[in-house]
Every structure is written in C-alpha cells, then in structure tokens.
Amino acid sequence: MTELQLRARVAQRGLDVEFSVAAGEVLAVIGPNGAGKSTTIAVIAGLLRADDAVVRVGNRTLTDTSRGVCVPVHDRRIGVLMQDPLLFPHLTAIANVMFAARRHADRSGARLRARRWLAEVGADDLADRTPGALSGGQAQLVALARALAAEPEVLLLDEPLAGLDVAGATAARSVLRRVLTADSRTALLITHDLIDVLTLADRVLVLEEGKVVEVGRVSEVLTAPRSDFGARIAGVNLVRGRMTGPGTLRDAAGVNWHGTPAEDSASLHECVAVFAPAGVAVYRDQPHGSPRNSVRVRIAGLEINGGVVRVRAAAQSDGAVGLSADVTPESVAEMRLQVGDEVWFTVKTQAVGIHSAARSDVGLR
C-alpha cells in the first residue's frame, strides 16, 4: 500500500482541499452534508474533473491539471466502495468478484482469486447468489470483495455502512476492520458514524463547506476538537474566542472562559474552549462561589439521552452550535425546565480545556 496525496479545487462545488493519507493509514473524513466529501472521492477516483488538482499515489501521478495529466479511471488502481453496493445485477456474486479479478488473471485464475476474496470477507457461501437474493449487508461484503479483487493501491470508502441495519453494519464493520488492518491498507473513509471513526480510522479529517477545518489523530480530535462538526461528532461543547490571559479566553459575546491551557495554546490568540456536557450544571439564577464559568443561554431543546436529560441551548452568538448540558431528570423536573427558558450554564474551570484553534498538521505532510 502506498501514500495518497491530494490537492483539489472544484469551483462549482466550492471544494478546495489539500491533504495526504500515509501508507497503510486509514483517514476518516467527516463533515456535514454538502461539505464536499463525495466530491473529494470522485476527484481522487478520476470520476470528476477538478479545475485544479494534483492526485498522487506513491510515485504515480494520477491527476495533475497544470501538466494536463489525467490517468483514466480504469488505470488508477483506486478502489471505490459506496453506500450502494452496485453489484452488477446480471451477474452472480462470484461473477461480480471475477469481473474485478479478470484484470490480473485468466478465467480459472480469476475464479480462484474471487473465491479467496469472498472467503476473506466471509461471504464464500454467497458465491452463487444473484445480487437480488442478498441482504444489504451481504451485498456490501461482496462489493468489498469485488473492490479488493481489483487489487487497488488505495481504497475509497464512501459511507459503506450507512445503508445497513445495525446487525449488518456491525458484521460488515468488523470485516472492514480486519481487511484494513491485516494488509495495512491505505484508505479514505467517509462516514457520519462515530463508531466507524473510533474503530476503523487512524486519523480524522473534518471537512466543512469544502475546506479542511481540522485534521488530527482520532483521540486528539475527539477529546479536543477545533471545529464545530468535530465537536458535534465528539459530543463535546466548543467555544471559540481569543486568548486574553493565561488560561482565559474571551468569546464573541464578551464572556470570559477560564480553563486549563494545553501546551500548544500558550502563544496563540485564536483559541477554543472544550468541555463535556456532563461537566455543565444548569441553574435558574447566576451561581456564586467556587471558580466557574457561567453563561446565560436560552433552552432550544430537551432530549432524554440514556439516563440523563440533554439540555441544548440556542446557537452561540457567533453562529456556532449551541452548548449542551447533561443533567438528571430529577433536576429538570425540580427546576421545571422548558424550551425557551433562560437559564445559566456553569462549568468548573478544571473541566474546561483551552487549545489553539488550528492544528499544526493540517495540509500536505
């Protein structure tokens, strides 16, 4: 497996990205709908012409618009697995896999390879079924076997588990994990599912409105996200602001947030404060006493979430996602909290981490 490098600009779709995936690495790409995730994959696979792009896999240049290079799709050796398995409906499962294996072998050799790949994904008993007789999960496994049989150097996975029920997704996810790690494959994984990011990816990239807003190791992004979408998928609160003193951040509304500064935040002005909803308490009146941060918010939603009630506040003054607090059902009942109420969210200083707003490893490495 080999390294993937990408720089792409597609004006029509508002996409302008630059990143790389190291050899043997799985990079998860997350972001809201319309952020340009699928467009990115289409550019890498050669299915979409970018206005300005460089796609390199190892030492092969697949696309370089400035030099007029554009390797045709069938010569790129980029595997694509989409939400729709798109098995050829007129061919059986094994014939589908053989279609991809034919490139590297004659007919009998292709059949052997196809059997091996079907066994690899645990679908060898489905070989003679037609796509119509397969469940969604089974079809996706066969599609994975087919993509692998073409022996791609890079795998592009565009929400491969999104269309499956929970059982099918779980089974397919473990196969995907085995296949990705066993052969240390280079892969790009588009997903909306935190479980996919946690179980399959080494690094995660957040795409918002066609731009890379955050790239980092999964654990880093999930504990200290720098982007709104990263915070949303990690389930933590994120407040943007400027550093005004050691461990102090002032947000757009002028509220000061005190917290524990991370090492990388010291010298930077643009910062984010990150804290978990579980650390946020809700009060009717402004509390006093021990060192805390307090902010007045309007309740926009109340949701039962496990044994707790998540209190969602209206959007922040800079337009970012509203803050959340997890409180017990008893305290919600006691305070008679309603959507539209004005309350105080408070969080202890120790529960707030302050980080620089940009990660150092965004971009081509």
Partner 1 sequence: MRPIRAPGGSLPRWVYLPAALGAIFVALPLVGIIAKVDWSRFIPLVMSPASRAALLLSLQTATVSTLLCLVLGVPLALVLARHRGRLARVVRPLILLPLVLPPVVGGLALLYVFGRLGLLGHYLEAAGLRIAFTTAAVVLAQTFVSLPFLVIALEGTARTAGSRYDEVAATLGARPSTVWWRVTLPLLAPGLLAGTVLAFARALGEFGATLTFAGSRQGVTRTLPLEIYLQREGDPEAAVALSVLLIGIAAVVVVGLGGRRIAGWGAG
Binding site for partner 1 (CB under 8 A): 45, 47, 72-80, 82, 84, 86, 88-90, 99-100, 103, 146-147, 149-150, 152
Q: By C-beta, is 15 or 97 nearer to partner 1?
A: 97
Whether 313 and 298 have beta carbons less than 8 Å apart is answered as: yes
Query: CB 86 → partner 1: shortest distance, Å?
Result: 5
Nearer to partner 1, 55 or 311 (CB): 55
Closest contact distance (angstroms) between CB of 103 and partner 1 is 4
| Burial classification of residue 292, based on how many CB atoms lie within 10 Å of its CB (0-12 exposed, 13-18 middle, 19 or more buried) | middle
Nearer to partner 1, 156 or 236 (CB): 156
Name the nearest CA neighbour of 232 among 255, 259, 252, 213: 213
- The pair of structure tokens assigned to 322 is 């509203």
Supply the minimum distance, in Å, between the C-beta of residue 108 and partner 1. Answer: 18
Residue 302: which residues within 8 A CB-CB, separation 6 or more? 309, 310, 311, 312, 332, 337, 339
Q: Which of 207, 267, 230 has its CA nearest to residue 238? A: 230
Alpha helices in the chain (DSSP H): 37-45, 93-101, 107-120, 136-149, 166-182, 194-200, 218-223, 228-234, 329-335
Distance CA 320, CA 225 (A): 13
* Shortest distance (Å) from residue 73 CB to partner 1: 4
Which of 77/242 has CB closer to partner 1? 77
Q: Nearest distance from residue 99's CB to partner 1, in Å?
A: 6
